[in-house]
Amino acid sequence: MAKVVEGHRRFLGFKKTILLDRKLLVDLIDQCTSGSLNWDEFSSAVNEAHAGRMGNPTNRLMIQDRPTEEDYFYANPEECLQSLGEQLSST
């Protein structure tokens, strides 16, 4: 379901969607819970780690002989996205 929401947000005008680094986030949460990180350190570490992980539309990857590793259409519907400056038509 998260992939569908991500694709829908991209379709509606490239709304920001953060692609989480789950492994790092779990590690940071564990450190914060154990007390080795305070809230300010945790917050800045999360912001720093995810600064370049915004889900902007990109060309979908087509991997020959490995269709299970391709980008999902509903997560990155590049063919449905309007070009910059182009009006969205209702056909």
Q: What is the pTM of this model?
A: 0.49
Q: C-alpha angle 15/73/81, rounded to 5°?
A: 45
- 40 and 59 in a single domain? The answer is no
Whether 39 and 6 share a structural domain: no
Residues 91 and 64 in one domain: yes
Say how many domains are in the chain.
2
DSSP string, 48-83: HHTTT-B----PPP--TT-GGGSPPTTT--GGGSPP
Structural domain boundaries enclosing 10: 1-19+54-91
Residues 61 and 44 in one domain: no
Q: Does pLDDT of 85 surpass 70?
A: no
Q: What pLDDT, on the 0 to 100 scale, is given for residue 22?
A: 87
Same domain, yes or no: 87 and 59: yes
Tokens encoding 43: 């917050």
| Residues 37 and 13 placed together within one structural domain of the fold | no
Is residue 15 located within the same domain as residue 33? no
* 40-72: pLDDT as tens digits: 999 999 989 888 776 655 565 666 776 555 555
